[in-house]
Structure 1
Amino acid sequence: MLLAMIAIGSWVTQRIEETVVRNTANATALYMESFISPLSQDLARSSVLSAGAKRAMDEIFTNTPLGDRVASFKIWKEDGLIVESSNSDLTGRRFEISENLRAAFRGEVRADFEELGDPEDSNERAMGLPLLEIYSPIREVWSGRIIGVAEFYEVATALKEDLERARRNSWATVALSVLLIGVSLYAIVLRGSRTIDRQLEDLTRLSEHNTALRLRVQQAVSRFTAMNDDAMRRIGADLHDGPAQLMAFAALRIDNLRAEVDQPRALAELDEVERAVKDAIREIRNISRGVSLPDIEQRSLDRIVEGVADAHSARTGTEVKVRMHALEGNVALPVAVRICVYRFVQEGLNNAWFHAAGKGQEVRVTLTERTLRVRVLDEGPGFPDLPVSADPPEGGMGLSGLQDRVESLGGIFEKLNRQPRGAELRMTLDLGGTT
């Protein structure tokens, strides 16, 4: 706005000055033409004025009210010759034709205010007065042809005062207008800013409330997951220690009864019962092994991951590489996170064994103060174009259930294909939302 004020103020004052100077120059030129033109008709035939014309000009510009207004004058020919001048030293000399002089010979009235930069203006500069330099065409009376140019310098003290007053008024008007606009804009922006601040405060409170709710939901889900896994672990232990043991006892009793049965039909039925009991024992042990968990609460992250990898290697006879980049230190992982890591690695290795035949199985764990990232990789054929909810390997919980478990803790679950071949399961948890 300041730049606009300066630009507008400069433009307005310049236009006012140009208009005032032009109007003053036109009026003065018209007035002077009534005196100068009749005395300069000799220029139509000659490059000098007659003695009578010179004497008449001297009388007009000496000791008269017009002479008090006009500080000096020059009469020009088109070739740059000064035919007559109030300064006799300039009479008969030639100078380079200026743009104003050239325009005057084209019939225009030109004027400059306090711009005395031409070589022939040295005497006028020395006067130290505010001068209005006017170029007025001199026309032949009967034909209207331009035969010369009268250049005269009017003392413009009153004009200078008027221009200064106009400049002050113009700048004051522009400044006041810009000030009013600025105050209005400031009021509008201030009101809008306060509205935005209030809305921002409301949004901040709402965001904090939503964040608190999200954390509470994640913590509740974490507690529920921990409770659910604990219950599953107890169920698995109960299955292993209860029905599995009873079924094993029943199998032993069947073996003891076999010696006392001698009928072929009864032996065949006894064999069927024995097979059913052993199948039931196998199913119960598989179920208990799938739902039971080790003592995760007392284990560190590296022991949990290595324990899963060792158990998988022992069960499948395949090699599993484990790479830990864990700065565990004071990072306390909730039980739900430890269980999630256990299940993720367990399911990821099961998936790698089922789909990749255990080739290139690897577990990579990175733990910082804020983020936990677990990756399970293999060198198999990669994931086919199947949805996440595809059927899991035998004894597994499935990628769909694994994804639900990870996302319930606010984490990100990804399944990727590696290059040139292989698959990767990736889990990323923000620990800030699970503690």
Structure 2
Amino acid sequence: MNRLISRWRNAALATQFAVAGGIVMLVAMLVVGQWVAARISETVIRNWANATALYMESFISPLSQDLADSDELSPLAHRALDEVFTSTSLGARVVSYKIWKEQGRIIDASDHALLGRQFPVGPELRAAWAGEVSASLADLTEQENAGEAALGVPLLEIYSPIREVWSGRVIGVVEFYERADALVADLTQARRRSWGAVAAVFAAIGLVLWGIVARGSRLIVAQAAELQQQVAELAELSAHNTALRLRVQGAAGRISALHDQVLRQVGADLHDGPAQQLAFAALRMDSLAPHLASDGALLLAEMERAVKDAIREIRSISRGVALPDIAERCPCAFIADLAETHRARSGTDVEVTCLADDLPPLDAAVKTCLYRFVQEGLTNAWRHAEGREQAVWLGRVGDRLVLSVTDRGPGPGMQISGSADGGLGLAGLRDRVEALGGLFDIRARNGGGTELSMELQLGQNK
């Protein structure tokens, strides 16, 4: 059954219409054909019966007027009726007859054994007493029709009212059986022609509809094939774009790593070069102080302070641009170190929440991005929010890595406007995050403060 259903669903629209429409059209053709054949038979039999009844009435009515005043026919009328049905051409057509009175009593019949007998009144006899001519192909199964059934030929059973000449009142009913060989042949031919006409009409309608559906089906199949080809091309293009995007993100990550490497080299060069030379100069200045006069000693002291301030500034810069080796470390570990360093430098507490068990393996570019994000976020919170209720949260939400740095300062407007005097910290963070295909956001928190957040799709940075 499932196989048939599957084959049906996979079949073309024209095939489905041919099968389903063929069944519907066949059922409709049978119903309509049967109805048309029945109406043709009914009409032909009625017209044939009316013509025969009118012909019979011209013979029987004059001989049956005694029934207006009596329930019996006169012997003369009996003999006249027998001669009509045996000695005229009418006898060749009508094989038997019965004349009925009310309550179903036979007062005359071609079979004299039925005279005086009473039978149940059927619907045809009742309709004839109401003045209607009724006819049907004889069933001949009733007891009164035993003689007719013995003939073995198709008969048309006709009930016709006998009317009083001057008043038109029904005074009796004549039932007669006419040979129906020609009628049956005509009916068979009429049915055959009506069935042929109905079948031809329905076949023509079915073919026209099937042609329309077949054309539409071919168009749909062609469009479906074209759509499948377009989908395949789009899928190929999407895969190509995804590969290009991953390559761009990988290149951006490598550029970011190279940038950090350059910064580390700059920091090391500052620490090992100018800082050491300035330190040496400071030492030499200390040795010159005893040999100078008071004014010169004072000038030398000012120069020494300037040199030492430069040394501290260079060391501070070198520490800020230098990046520790985080490639092999867990993000939770270096975020905790950043919070501790920030606490030591600023004297403000940082609440760190890191869901280490949910974190997948991360590459160096992602870890570098996390490091710089926390570093810049805490620095901004200290500068613009006075370090109030600083917090860092790192974890996995579905298939995304989420990192946020929050505070309870005046809000993001101060941080954005305040970044203009400090350089491109937030702008650099946005570029770094978006280069890895992530989302960067800064927004106000309910109840005051700022939330700096980033999201990275896990598994796309290879």
2:269 pairs with one of 234, 246, 267? 246
* Aligned residue number for residue 222 of structure 1: 246
Equivalent AA in structure 1 for residue 150 of structure 2: A
Aligned to 1:180: 204
| Higher helix residue share | 2
Q: Is the 8 A contact 2:253 2:436 kept in 1?
A: no
Offset, 1:2: 1.4
**In 1: Cα distance, 2:155 partner to 2:229 partner:** 72
1:8 aligns to 2:32 (yes or no): yes
Distance 1:144 1:279, change over 3 A: farther
Secondary structure of the 2:230 match is: helix
Q: 1:209 to 1:89 in 2, by over 3 A?
A: same
Distance 1:273 1:258 in 2: 11
Q: CA offsets per residue over residues 31-65 of structure 1, 9 Å max, x none?
A: 11111222222222232222222222211122432
Match of 1:123 in 2: 147
Partner SS, residue 108 of structure 2:
strand
- Equivalent position amino acid for 1:164 in 2: T
Q: How does 1:139-288 map to 2 (within 5 A)?
A: 139-240=163-264, 242-249=265-272, 250-255=274-279, 257-258=281-282, 260=285, 263=298, 265-266=302-303, 269-270=306-307, 272-285=309-322
Specify which of 306, 322, 335 is matched with residue 357 of structure 2: 322
1:104 corresponds to 2:123? no
Q: Which runs of 5+ in 2 are unaligned?
A: 1-24, 287-296, 340-351, 382-388, 407-411, 420-424, 440-452
Q: In structure 1, how many angstroms separate the alpha carbons of the residues matched to 2:69 and 2:432? A: 113
* 8 Å contact kept, 1:40–1:138: yes
1:294 aligns with 2:310: no
Change (3 A) 1:342 1:110: farther
Aligned partners of 2:110, 2:185: CA distance in 1, in Å?
A: 27
Number of aligned residues: 376
Contact map agreement 1:347 1:396 (CA 8 A) in 2: no
- 2-structure distance, mates of 1:310, 1:56: 134
1-side partners of 2:432 and 2:182: how far apart?
95
| 1:322-344 Cα distance to aligned partner (Å, 9 max, x none) | 24899xxxxxxxxxx97898799
Aligned ranges 1:327-342 → 2 under 5 Å: none
Write the letter of the residue equivalent to 2:211. A
Residues 371-393 of structure 1 show CA distances to partners (whole Å, capped at 9, x for unaligned) of xx456599x9xxxxx9xxx99x9
CA distance in 1, matches of 2:337, 2:51: 115
Which of 40, 44, 55 is 1:20 aligned to?
Answer: 44
Q: 1:363 aligns with which of 385, 396, 400?
A: 396
* Displacement after TM superposition at 1:314 (Å): 5.3
Percent identity of paired positions between Structure 1 and Structure 2: 36
After TM superposition, which residue ranges in structure 1, 4 or more long, deviate above 6 angstroms? 337-350, 352-356, 393-396, 423-426
Separation of aligned partners in 2, 1:255 and 1:42: 160
Q: Partners in 1 of 2:80 and 2:198 — Cα distance?
A: 49
Does 1:405 find its partner at 2:429?
Answer: no
The question of whether the paired residues in 1 share the 8 Å contact of 2:157 and 2:178 is answered with yes
- Cα distance change on mapping 1:154 and 1:44 into 2, 3 Å: same
Q: Do the aligned residues in 2 keep the contact of 1:12 with 1:170 (CA within 8 Å)?
A: yes
> Alpha-carbon deviations, 1:344-376, whole Å to 9, x = none?
9989999x99999457x64377xxxxxxx4565
Q: Structure 1 pair 339/58, CA: closer, same or farther in 2 (3 Å)?
A: farther
Question: What is the match of residue 334 of structure 1?
Answer: none
**Alpha-carbon offset, residue 222 of structure 1:** 1.2
Cα pair distance change 1:159/1:358, threshold 3 Å: same
Q: Which SS does the other structure have where 1:79 is aligned?
A: helix
Q: Which amino acid aligns with 1:24?
A: W
2:123 equivalent to 1:90:
no
Aligned to 1:417: none
Q: 1:143 to 1:356 in 2, by over 3 A?
A: farther
Contact 2:401–2:455 (Cα < 8 Å) also in 1: yes
Instruction: Report the 3-state secondary structure (helix = DSSP H, G, I; strand = E; otherwise coil) of the residue aligned with 1:149.
Output: strand
Q: How far apart, in 2, do the equivalents of 1:90 and 1:345 lie?
A: 119
1:321–1:362 Cα contact (<8 Å) kept: yes
8 A Cα contact 1:74 1:151, kept in partner? yes
- Residues 110 and 424 (structure 1 numbering): CA distance in 2 closer, same or farther, change over 3 Å? farther
Alignment correspondent of 2:349:
none
